[in-house]
Amino acid sequence: MNKNPNEPKLLDHEADGIKELDNNLPRWWVWMFYLCILYAAGYLGYYHVFNMGDLQAAEYAKESALGEKIKAEAIGKFESGLATLTPSKELAVLSEGQATYTTLCAPCHRPDGGGLVGPNLCDDYWIHGTNYVDILKTIINGVPEKGMLTWRGVLKPNEIQAVASYIHTFRGTTPPNPKPREDQAGPEKPNIFE
Ligand code: HEC
């Protein structure tokens, strides 16, 4: 290295008249470089030698488990409070419900609720009960053996509430060529929650 740190050294090679200077690196830069090496040593020790910190995969698993726990708690709370829920009439909630319905439910229930693979959601005849809480329960638990998916864990509680509220607005509408009614549940029972 050159004696004087401020004086660049002219290297002895040359190409087409172009020479190269070996500039000295600024001190601050060199110190940053040493700090990086120190940091890397610490990092290596912390994560890979003494295994004190979680690596990416472990951290991901931890965060996911936490997320699942929060979701399960929210759904549990929602389900235990089911009986007190009533269909929302707020436009924002209904339009959120409509968006969910259009993407996830309409392929089986038809955009107008007239029924396709899934039953008609407009008439007064329901397989799994006619009041709002019955609808919520059917959406949450699904009827997997009959082709109705279980939405618990897929949709968040407020999304289930929104889509059920939206479905509730189908009641009494008369879409063209509806699926024939299902007689199992009989005419609408009074909904004690409304
Ligand atoms: C893959 C097709 C399919 C999709 C997607 C689907 N359903 Fe269903 N759904 C069904 C079927 C089939 C039934 C009838 C189940 C039975 O016969 O017991 C049903 C039943 C229902 C019922 C009860 C109807 C009654 O008569 O009691 C509700 C409410 C319902 N679905 C809501 C929804 C909602 C909300 C979504 C979207 C989040 C959805 N479904 C998505 C197929 C589907």
The residue whose two tokens read 């500039």 is 23
Task: Determine whether the shortest distance from the Cβ of 151 to ligand 1 is under 6 A.
Answer: yes
Q: Which protein residue's CA is at the shortest distance from atom 30 of ligand 1?
A: 139
- Cβ neighbours, 10 Å, residue 23: 11
Residue 153 makes CB contacts below 8 A (sequence gap 6+) with 71, 75
Centre of ligand 1 to C-alpha 128, Å, is 10
Torsion of Cα atoms, 117 then 189 then 163 then 73, to 10°: -110
Residues 79-126 have pLDDT tens digits of: 888 888 899 999 999 999 999 999 999 999 999 999 998 999 998 888
Residues 137-173 have pLDDT tens digits of: 999 999 999 999 999 889 999 999 999 999 999 988 8
Residue 79, token pair as written in the block: 């389900």
Give the whole-angstrom CA distance, residue 119 versus residue 167.
12
Give the whole-angstrom CA distance, residue 7 versus residue 5.
6
Residue 151, token pair as written in the block: 């939405």
Give me the pLDDT at residue 183, please: 57
Tell me what percent of the residues of the chain surpass a pLDDT of 90.
62
Task: Determine whether the shortest distance from the Cβ of 163 to ligand 1 is under 6 A.
Answer: yes
Q: Quick check: 111 and 102 in contact, CB under 8 A?
A: yes
Centre of ligand 1 to C-alpha 152, Å, is 13
Q: Which protein residue's CA is at the shortest distance from atom 37 of ligand 1?
A: 105
